Structures are given as structure tokens and as C-alpha cells.
Structure 1
Amino acid sequence: MRTGLVLDVRTYGARGDGLALDSPAIAAALAAAHHAGGGIVLLPPGTYRSFSLRLPSRVTLAIEAGATLLAATPGPDGAYDLPEDRGPQLYQDFGHSHWHNSLIWAEDAEDIAILGRGLIDGTGLTRNGPGTPWSAQRGERPLSMATMTPADVARLEQDAAAMRGQGNKAIALARCRRATLEDLTIFRGGHFAVLASEVEDLTLAGLTIDSNRDGIDLDGVRRARVSRCRVNTPNDDAIVLKTSLALGRTACEDVTIEDCTVSGYDLGTLLDGTHGRTQQHAPDRDRVTGRIKLGTESNGDFRRISITNCRFERSRGLAIESVDGGTIEDVLAENLTMDEVTTAPLFLRLAARLRGPAGTQIGALRNIGIHGVAATGIDPRFAAIVAGLPGHAIEDVRLSDLDLRFDGALDGSTPLAPPELADAYPEPSMFGPTPAWGLWARHVRGLAAARLRFRRNGSDPRPPLLLEDAADARIAFDEDVAHRYHILHNSTT
């Protein structure tokens, strides 16, 4: 990259007054930096109203403190770039399948960056878009949406024709190499605040995201690090790894998520500091989301994933899900703190939604280590869950130093054994209240758990621990818990 070249967008005609359309001027500066061999395009303080911007190779877009890149509302003076015509995209929704219909997008670019302490305001973006045209439709939506009418669903999933000219992502990267996003604030990022698909050597650091749907989605990335990010997404996942078929069956490998905080506070209240709790449910009619997750899209494999020193606030817990044929293996999660857990604190699921081409087979979930989890305010309906399928066990799960505190207890009788629900969309609530209140594991081989501590308020008819079809399990509870609930140490089931 050529060093020392800094191009101010005002030199190219940008006004920065929040009224003029500045995307032509910004695009001209980006192109000039690229043709010069690389450089920095600077947005100084001001409000720059814009439609789609393409970020070319060897160019950095720097948004200074006091500068706002404002996503314009489509109208007489312009619209967003059209979604790519890439043929039928059968197995993932519209948002995953396109990149150009974004405020900032890059494709097949290298050595790119977007950084600075300025703001990207997605006021003109939409969070909507059609779901997958996958013909089977089983497992397409969470069971919590079963009572929604077609009109309810249509309000969330506009058809493809309605999306022409609309932008539904703040930043989208496809098949890029050596990309950095650092220190930005993103508000109302649309369907995705950040979507990175098949990106190699990706760094996301110090981002603050307060968004109306997904926060950071990494789809088939390799050698990626997400650090010091604060992501608030009450309506969907905060930081999520995926392996969809949007660009082919690509693995997600060598990813580190560290020192991040995710949450499900009311939209906008992370940025204003009030941490509002008015919203109780996400659009799927389950409680607010805001979590870290692997899956649900899992056509490809996941390998060598590390999640460390992260905090979950008013959100669903950690979810690791293979349901579309991929193998998830060699995952380490440690030193996690959770407060006000809106469903289950841990959800490991191997299942058979199999949203993919004919012949897609059940995948695998193995070699998972989760150590040092302190969770409070957990919804008492849901234990930590490890749930495979008959003949397809989750393998080699190691749990240690789990301190789980549940907010209340379940009234009434012990729930019946939940059905397998092999092809359902994976969510902890899919099973209803779990048959144990602390840890429920079914169809698992080689489960090792040590130093478990479960606490609750009130009396609960369920046992704290239930293992079903759990070969070679080794469980060691905290002394106090073992005494209180008459559980033997080092029991083998």
C-alpha cells in the first residue's frame, strides 16, 4: 500500500451537511486512492449522507470522531446498489446471499480497512428481507413463531422485488483478504451491521454496535479475530459464526472472539447509556437475543474456535449448533460471565434440519471445552442443554467450573421427556421446560463435567442433573451442591 496519501472527501465535493448526497464524492475519493496504489480516504467531522460505497483494494476509509456516515433513505435522488444476480440461492436467506446492497461493500478486495471513532448511522437501511426459498421449509423458523400468521411473517420477510434499491447491511465483505474494522460505532445496521463472507485474515477490534437485527456475522471466515467489541442486538444474534452455502461450502476456521460484551437491551440504549429493558421479546416471539452463537447455518465445518473473556448481558446464552450437515470441532470457550440469561446459559445441539442439497447428511459436534462460566438471573425453565440425536451423539464435551444461578424455580410437576424434534429450528425453548433444572444432557458420549455449582430460588420438582443416553459420562459436583441434592461425586452414568 502506498503510504502517506490522505484524501479528504471534501476535496472531491462532499458537503458533510447531512442534506446533500455525498456518496458520489466519497466514491470518487475511494477510486482515486485505489488508482494511486492505495491510501486513506478521510471523512472529517460532519454528516455525510450516502448510498452504496464500494471499498477497493489497498484503501482505508477513516471516519473521524465527530463524523457520521449516514445511510440515506431511497428516494428521488438515489438508491442502493442492486443485489447481485447470482442465480437461485436456495439454502440461505436473502441477507446472506448478497453484498452489494449495503452502505459499504467490498468484493475480492485485499488490504482494506474501515476505522476511526466516527459513527455509521443506518437510518435509511432496512432490517427486512425474504427468507430462504428452500422447498422443504421444515426447520426454517423457530417453533416460537408457530402461532404467527402469514401476514405477521410477511411483515418481517419482504419479497425480493421489494428489496430492489433497498440497503440492508451497514458493511458487507465478500471473498476479501486482510481486512480490518476498528473503533467504529454502528447504529441501526439493518439485517447485518457487519457481514463477512469467505474473508481471510480479518480483524474486528473496538467496535460498538447497537443494532436492530444481527450484529457481527462471520460466514466461512478464516483466521479472524474479534476483540474488545460491544454488541447490542435485542432482536437477533450479536456475534455469530456461520457456514452457509452463500459462496459455496466453506469452513469457518481459526476464529478468536475475546474480551467482547454482547447484550439484548432496548435498541439505542447501549449508545445512550440507559440500558433499557422495555422490550421483552425478539421478533421470533422468544425472549430477547443478543448472544454469541455458532450456527444456525452450518452446511460447512467449524474448526479451532476460541471464545474467551466475554460477557453476556440480558441475552440468551452461548449456543453451538450443527443442524445442516457441518462438523463443529475443537471449540474452546472459557471465562464467560452472564447476567440475566433470557433462555438457557449453554445450548449444544446436533440435529437434522439439513437445509441443503439432496443427500445432505447429519454432521457432528465434538471436542468442545467450556470452562469457567458464571451465570446469574437464568430463566428457570431452561437448564444448560447438551442435546444430540439417537445414533448421532455429541462427543467429547468437557465442562468445568460452571456456577449457574437460576432466577426462581419451575412450579408444578416434572415435565415429560421432550420429543427429539430432529428437524426443528434449534433454540433452547424448542423443548419447553427442560426435565432437569441445572444440566440436561441427551445423546452424548464422553461428557466430563467437574466443579459444577447450581443454585436456584424456590422449590423445583426436577432434578438438578439428568443424563440420558450418555455413555462414558463423568460428573463431579461442587461439595455443597452434592450434599444438598444427594448427588454422589465422580459418578459415572
Structure 2
Amino acid sequence: MSEVFDPRAFGARGDGAALDTQALNRAVAAAASAGGGVVRLGPGTYLSHSIRLQSRVRLYLEKGAVLLAADPPAEPGAGPGYDLPEASIAATNSYQDFGHSHWRNSLISGIGLEDIAIEGPGLIWGRGLVNGDYEPGHLPAMQAGVGNKAIALYDCRRVTLAGVSILEAGHFAVLATGCRDLAIARLTIDTNRDGINLDCCRDVEVSDCRINSPNDDAICLKSTFALGRLAATEDVRITGCTVSGSYQIGSLINGSRTLLDRGRREVFANVTHRTGRIKLGTESTGGFRRIRIENCIFQRCRGLALETVDGGDLEDVRVAGLMLRQVRHAPIFIRLGARLSGPEGVTPGRCRGITIRDVRADQPWSAMPVILAGIAGHRIEDVTLADIHLRSRGGAPARLAAVLPPEAAADYPDPEMFGVDLPAAGLFARHVRGLTVRRFRLECARPDARPLVWARDVRQASVSAMGR
């Protein structure tokens, strides 16, 4: 049985007023020196800056325990603060933003570790973290002493994150880069930017998590150049998760689920900016392989997005059993593009081998179709859509059938990149080879005069049981 280390025995107060940073790190160091152990936070509020995990240490938050991110110093050197951002390889390029390129400047960080865990029914509250690289009127994330992530892991093996709740987590609730054998289960995340970001990771399972992230993505797979080399995100399974983008931050954790949109007018005024979805991309230099997304619920957020625009290959993706409730924009968005944010000479990758089946989507505020969009000379390949049932707002006029959306090959990928008035009611497909559609049904709340399908440069298509 692992030895248990109580931070109070190392000087922690747990009163929410005194800084417990040094005591918490002493407890972690003691557990590591013992060959491994559990640092157990009992009920109380532990105010802290950066906690440095070590191999074979399990951080456990009991019910009633709150790990609270302290405020950074108002000026550099004016007082204790978060660990300095490391001089990372990624800092020498501009292929991804500052938040993706550093890990030490976090509430909890782990670099090059093995056999670590963060578990328990307690709460991690990132109140003192900033939630962007730079925000007008706020401290910049790159300023000394400032933290911008709740949990950041780099090059770690055999990691478990389970059971905890994470509130207001800064730029990322969980950022894992170059990690392997990662199990994330039963997290409740209620945050002001990204929920879980998996970057250049392998052998990952994310299960039974609930994530509310109105201002950014809930679960996002990336393959940036943060390791200083091309590396894919591969062998990832996401199952049984619920993601949302329209609850007031904190109301998922407390159970009230209070909507950000109040009243019909505001609902229609805010159909575009709520995020909260599951996405592959945008950063995609290394590509994605063998990704499985199963039995997940999207609630009042954007739909599923599969994107490769920076040269990496996106292949062997299987999606099944999605329920999209009050989804905004396109329910499914697949994009092969040529933004090419990567090393010199990078060329468009391949997007192929995608199967999406058993999807139910309700779109009360949107009439956008499913979008499959490659670029000239680079087609999306071998896509199967089966058992897709869409309920759209409808109401589009017949004149939209003549719209020719821009190619926008180098643009940031987003369903609105082609405009919100697309020429198809159910499926927009351009630059695709090998498309199979079976049992695709569209219902419209209002009559929609656009054709069910709009297709250009689509080769080897097979369609059956498609209608409205």
C-alpha cells in the first residue's frame, strides 16, 4: 500500500489565505523520495502557485478539498508567482501559440514523468490563472510569475486523471503534450477556455467526462510542432463524454446548468460564438491516426470537426453514436486545407478513411449542412456517412442553390469559412473521392428550397436511402 503524505504535516494551512505552495511541493518531494506515494489533500482550501509533480506520485483531493490557483504578482518580481515558462523548443517557432508551447507556468505541471495521477472528488479552481496568451486589461501569459493552465504535462508516461472537478482553468484545464498511456476519466470541467487538449499524444482514453467550455473547444486533439519535430496524435478513444458550450461557467459543477443565453433575442444573437465541441485540429503538422469517438453528447455547442490544414495526415477515424442537441453551425465539418503553418516546405496532407455513423443532430438555430471540403488537387478520400438524422431549422430560399462558396484553401478552418448561406440543405461536398452515404435523413422545421446535396469534384460516390 502506498504511503500517504499529508501536506499539513509539511506546513500547509489549507485556509485559503496563506500560500501553501512550498508545503505542497515538499509533500510531493517527500513522496517521490520514498519511492512513490500519495499526497492527500484533506478538506480545506489550499492556495498555491506552481506544484511540480514527480514520478510515482499520486495527488489525491478528498471531498471538500479545493486546490486554488493564487493570483500572480501584479509586476514581475513583486512577489511569489508561478514557475517561469521553460525555454522550450516550440518557443523558437510560431506554428502554435504561447499556451501550447510551455508547461511549467501552470498550477500543476509534470515534465518527463512516469506513473503519476491526479484523482479524487475534490476541486481544482484556477481562479488566479489567465485564460489567454494576452488579454487587454489583464496580465500577459508570458509575463514572469503568471500561470495560464490548470494541469500541463509534457513527455509523461502512464498518467491517470480521474474524478476531480476543474473550474476556471485558464487557457487549458488539461494540456498533455507528447504523452503516452494516458487515462482520463470522470472529470467535470467548467472553464473559460479549452477543456482537454491532447497534443502529439499516443494511447489515450478519455471516458465519461463532462465539459462545459463556451469560449473554446471541450475536447481537442492537436498535433503541433511543440516537440520540435513532426509527431502524430494516434490511438485515441473518446467515449461516453458530454460536451457543452452554453452554460454559465460554474453552473455545470454546481448542478444548476444556467444558460448563458437569456431570452429568445439573445439566443439568436449568439448562435455563432459558443464552442464547446469535440475537434481534431486546428494545429495539425503531425497528423492524426486511429481515432475513435463513441457515444458522446454535444449540448448547445458546435458540432464535430475533423480538420487537417497544416500538412499532417488525418486517417482511420471512426465515429459512432453521437447525439447533438441544439447544435450550432454544421453538425459535421471535415476539412482538408492548406493553411500550412509548419516547417518550410510543408505541403497539404491527406484526409482519408473516415467513418461516421449513428448521428442524431438537432439544429434549431442553423440550416447549415454537413460539410466535407477538400481543396483542388487534394481530395478528402474514403468517407462513409451512415445512419445520419438531421433536424434543421430550414427556411432557406431557392436562390441559395446558385451560391458558389469560396475555396478559402489557406484560411483558418471553420464551418463559416464558406459563408453561412450554403447551397445545400443536407450535405455539402467538394473535392472528395470515395464517398458512401447510407440512410441519411433530413427534416426541416420550415420548408427549405435548396437541394438536399450539393457536390463538386466528387468522384466514386455511392448514395442510398437519402432523403427528406
Query: For the structure 1 residues 208 and 363, does the alpha-carbon distance in structure 2 shift closer, same or farther, using more than 3 Å as the test?
Result: same
Once the two structures are superposed, what CA deviation does each residue of 1:435-476 show, in whole Å capped at 9, x if it has no partner?
A: 101111110000001001101111223111112111011111
- The aligned counterpart of 2:251 is 269
Task: Return the alpha-carbon distance in structure 1 between the equivalents of residues 136 and 272 of structure 2.
Answer: 17
Query: For the structure 1 residues 160 and 171, does the alpha-carbon distance in structure 2 shift closer, same or farther, using more than 3 Å as the test?
Result: closer
Q: Is it true that 1:470 corresponds to 2:462 in the alignment?
A: no
Matches within 5 A, 1:318-357: 318-357=304-343
- The aligned counterpart of 1:362 is 348
Partners of 2:271 and 2:328 within 8 A in 1: no
Matches within 5 A, 1:373-388: 373-388=359-374
The TM-score, its normalising length taken from structure 2, stands at: 0.93
- The aligned counterpart of 1:46 is 44
Matches within 5 A, 1:388-427: 388-411=374-397, 413-414=399-400, 416-427=403-414
Q: CA deviation at 1:403?
A: 0.5
Q: Is it true that 1:200 corresponds to 2:200 in the alignment?
A: no
- The aligned counterpart of 1:124 is 128
Partners of 1:298 and 1:322 within 8 A in 2: yes
Once the two structures are superposed, what CA deviation does each residue of 1:183-207 show, in whole Å capped at 9, x if it has no partner?
A: 0100001000000000000000000
Task: Return the alpha-carbon distance in structure 2 between the equivalents of residues 460 and 375 of structure 1.
Answer: 17
Percent same amino acid at aligned positions?
51
The one-letter amino acid of 1:209's match is I
Secondary structure at the counterpart of residue 31 of structure 1: helix
- The aligned counterpart of 2:428 is 440
- The aligned counterpart of 1:133 is none
- The aligned counterpart of 1:105 is 109
- The aligned counterpart of 2:83 is 81
- The aligned counterpart of 1:232 is 212
Partners of 1:344 and 1:378 within 8 A in 2: no
Q: CA deviation at 1:164?
A: 2.1
Residue of structure 2 aligned with 1:35, choices 18, 33, 36: 33
Moved more, 404-413 or 222-231: 404-413
The one-letter amino acid of 1:117's match is P
Q: Is it true that 1:171 corresponds to 2:151 in the alignment?
A: yes
The one-letter amino acid of 1:257's match is I
Q: CA deviation at 1:377?
A: 2.5
Once the two structures are superposed, what CA deviation does each residue of 1:239-269 show, in whole Å capped at 9, x if it has no partner?
A: 0100000112111110000000000022222
Q: Structure 2 unaligned runs (5+)? A: none
Q: CA deviation at 1:160?
A: 6.1
Task: Return the alpha-carbon distance in structure 1 between the equivalents of residues 36 and 416 of structure 2.
Answer: 50
Partners of 2:215 and 2:276 within 8 A in 1: yes
- The aligned counterpart of 2:99 is 95
Q: CA deviation at 1:57?
A: 0.3
- The aligned counterpart of 1:244 is 224
Q: CA deviation at 1:156?
A: 9.3
Task: Return the alpha-carbon distance in structure 1 between the equivalents of residues 345 and 365 of structure 2.
Answer: 38
The one-letter amino acid of 1:427's match is D
The one-letter amino acid of 1:452's match is F
Q: CA deviation at 1:413?
A: 2.5
Q: CA deviation at 1:119?
A: 0.1
Secondary structure at the counterpart of residue 352 of structure 1: coil
Question: How large is the RMSD of aligned CA atoms in angstroms?
Answer: 1.7
Partners of 1:325 and 1:362 within 8 A in 2: yes
- The aligned counterpart of 1:151 is none
Secondary structure at the counterpart of residue 195 of structure 1: strand
The TM-score, its normalising length taken from structure 1, stands at: 0.89
Task: Return the alpha-carbon distance in structure 2 between the equivalents of residues 394 and 41 of structure 1.
Answer: 49
Residue of structure 2 aligned with 1:211, choices 191, 201, 204: 191
Q: CA deviation at 1:155?
A: 2.8
Moved more, 463-472 or 112-121: 463-472
Secondary structure at the counterpart of residue 181 of structure 2: strand
- The aligned counterpart of 2:18 is 20
Q: How many equivalent pairs are there? A: 452
Secondary structure at the counterpart of residue 129 of structure 1: coil
Once the two structures are superposed, what CA deviation does each residue of 1:257-306 show, in whole Å capped at 9, x if it has no partner?
A: 0000000022222123232333569xx99320000000001000211000
Query: For the structure 1 residues 378 and 427, does the alpha-carbon distance in structure 2 shift closer, same or farther, using more than 3 Å as the test?
Result: farther
Partners of 1:382 and 1:429 within 8 A in 2: no
The one-letter amino acid of 2:83's match is D
Query: For the structure 1 residues 122 and 198, does the alpha-carbon distance in structure 2 shift closer, same or farther, using more than 3 Å as the test?
Result: same
The one-letter amino acid of 1:472's match is Q
Task: Return the alpha-carbon distance in structure 2 between the equivalents of residues 54 and 245 of structure 1.
Answer: 24
Q: Structure 1 unaligned runs (5+)? A: 131-153, 485-493
Partners of 2:176 and 2:198 within 8 A in 1: yes
